[in-house]
Amino acid sequence: MTELSTIYKLSLIAVTCFIQACSSSCPVLECWFVQEKAGRGGGLTGATTQEKSLLHIRTDGQNDESQRAPKDINPERVYSVIDPAGTLCHRSLNPPRGSVTKPQCEINPFLPQPSSLDWVSSLTESGLSPVYLQAEWFSSAFQGLNEQLGISTITRSPTGSKEHSVILSVTTKTVSVKSRLGEPVQLDCGFWINPSSPLYGAGFAVEWRYQFRGRGRLILAYDGKTDRLADTQEEGATLDFDALHEKGNASLLLQEAKVLHSGTYICTVYLPHLLAQVALDLEIEEPPSLSIHPSTLPLAVPGQTINVQCEASGFAPLPVEFSWEIKGADGKSKTLDSFSVTGHRQAWDRTFSQTSRLEIDTSKLDLGRGGELTCVAAHAGGTRRTSVTLNVIGFSSPSIEDSMAMVGVALVLYGLIKFVSWTFTSSGSAEADKQDKVMSL
C-alpha cells in the first residue's frame, strides 16, 4: 500500500512538472500600459501616462495561481492573456532568464468603432453595435528579439476582469527587409481570428500603406467580404488571394524592387469595429558599378603628375565611401590620400552616382616600373573594386633583375663584337698571305 502511495505521489509530481514545463513555454512579458490622461470635466487633454504592467501569456483558460506582481508593478496592471493560437508564445518573445535584452511590448485601451473607408464599410453596413462589444478592449504591440517578429493584437476582457482573450492578431516575420534592385520582394503579414468570437466569419478587409519621411500613399486595399479590390492598387503590387482566404496570409508581393519602394509599409487587418496593424521596413540596397577613366593609363615618367577618376554609378542608398590603393612591383600595397569626391547625382530611376578624382605624383611614390592602381567603393549593399595598370618608364633606380639583365645584354654585345672583330681580322690575314705567295712566284 505504501509502495502504491509512493508511486502515485511520484506520478503526480511528474505530471505537475510536465504541465508546468508546457505552460512555461509561453512568456511572462513586461509591458508598458499607455493611456491618455483624463482632464478636468472628463475631457481628454492629449497627455499620456505609462505604467509598468505584466502579461502572463497562456494558450488555455486555466488559472495560474503563481501570478504575483513584482514590487515595482501595480497588481492592477497584472493581466492574464489567453492566446489559443500561441502566437505570443514565440521564442523571440521569451528570452533566457537573466537576459539583458528583452522584447518590446506596449498595451493601450482600445475603442471599437466602425470605419468609413470604402473597402471596410461593408463590414458594418448594418449600422448596429453588437452587445458583444460591450466589454473592455485593448490593443497591444510586440516586437521580438533581433527584430525576428512583430505582432499586434486586439484583446477583449469582460468589464472588471483582468483576463484578456486575443480576438485578432496580426503578425509579420519580416520586420526589416533588404533587397536588391529588380528582385521580387515579399513583405510578410498574416492574421488570425479567434474562432470562438462572434466576429469570426463576419468578414475582413486588408490594407497596405506606404510611408516615407512624412509622406504616404495607399498601395493596395481589399474587401474580403465582397471580394473587391480598391481602384487605387499600385502597379506591380498584389496579394495571394487563395492564401489570404484559406490561411490568413496577407503578405504583399512586389514584382520588381525599385528605389522608390524603400520605406515603411503598414499592414492593417480590419474586422467589424476592430483593426490591428504591423509595420515593416523595406530597404533597397544596390551596390555601385565602378569604372576608371581613362581606362588605359598613359606611360608615365618619374616626376609626372597623372590625373585619374573613378565613377560609382547605379547605387542606392547614400552614402558610398571611396578609397584608393596601389600595389607596386614588389607586391606591397599603399593607400593613396590625394583624392577628392564630387557631390552625388541622382538618375531617373532614383539611383545615385558619384565620382572620385585622384592625383598621382610619380616623384613621391617609389613605384619602380609601376603597379596596379585600384579604386575601392564601400557601400551598405557591398564593397566593389576596380583596377588599372600604371606603367612608369625611365625610372632612376633599376631593380636587381633589371641590372642583371643589362649586364647580360652587355656581355652578349661584347662577345658579338669580339667575334665579328676576330672574323674580319682572320679573313684579312689569309688574304695577305695569298698575295705574298703570288708575288714570290
| Chain centroid offset of residue 181 CA | 13
Question: Does residue 127 carry a pLDDT above 80?
Answer: no
- Are the C-beta atoms of residues 118 and 226 closer than 8 Å to each other? no
pLDDT of residue 41: 54
Residue with cell 583624392: 339
Question: Does residue 1 carry a pLDDT above 50?
Answer: no
- Whole-number percent of the chain with pLDDT over 70: 80
Q: Is 34 exposed, middle or buried (0-12, 13-18, 19+ CB in 10 A)?
A: middle
Is the bond preceding 184 in cis, omega lying within 30 degrees of 0? no
**Residues 6 or more apart from 102 whose CB is under 8 A from it?**
30, 95, 145
Q: Is 111 exposed, middle or buried (0-12, 13-18, 19+ CB in 10 A)?
A: exposed
pLDDT of residue 430: 52
SS3 content of the chain, % helix, strand, coil (to 5): 20, 40, 35
pLDDT of residue 6: 33
pLDDT of residue 10: 31
Question: At 107, is the pLDDT very low, low, confident or very high (cuts 50, 70, 90)?
Answer: very high
pLDDT of residue 257: 95
Question: Does residue 12 carry a pLDDT above 50?
Answer: no
- Are the C-beta atoms of residues 252 and 233 closer than 8 Å to each other? no
Burial 184-199 (b: 16+ CB within 10 A, else e): ebebbbbbbbbeebeb
Question: Does residue 439 carry a pLDDT above 60?
Answer: no
| Angstrom distance (rounded) from CA 337 to CA 331 | 19
Mean pLDDT of the chain: 84
243-258 confidence digits (pLDDT tens): 999 999 999 999 999 9
| Angstrom distance (rounded) from CA 143 to CA 124 | 31
pLDDT of residue 357: 96
Beta bridge partners of 212: 215
Question: At 418, is the pLDDT very low, low, confident or very high (cuts 50, 70, 90)?
Answer: confident
34-75 confidence digits (pLDDT tens): 998 765 555 555 688 999 999 999 998 666 545 667 788 989
pLDDT of residue 435: 54
Question: Does residue 3 carry a pLDDT above 50?
Answer: no
pLDDT of residue 367: 66
268-310 confidence digits (pLDDT tens): 999 999 999 999 999 999 999 999 999 888 877 777 888 999 9
Q: Which amino acid is at 387?
A: S
pLDDT of residue 142: 97
**Residues 6 or more apart from 73 whose CB is under 8 A from it?**
52, 53, 54
333-389 confidence digits (pLDDT tens): 889 998 999 999 999 999 999 999 999 887 777 666 778 999 999 999 999 999 999
pTM score: 0.78
- Are the C-beta atoms of residues 344 and 356 closer than 8 Å to each other? no
pLDDT of residue 398: 53
pLDDT of residue 434: 53
pLDDT of residue 330: 78
What H or E segment, with its residue span, contains residue 109? Answer: strand 104-110
Question: At 21, is the pLDDT very low, low, confident or very high (cuts 50, 70, 90)?
Answer: very low
| Residue 396 phi, psi dihedral angles, 5° rounding | -85, -25
pLDDT of residue 394: 60
384-412 confidence digits (pLDDT tens): 999 999 887 764 455 555 556 566 666 77
Question: At 332, is the pLDDT very low, low, confident or very high (cuts 50, 70, 90)?
Answer: confident
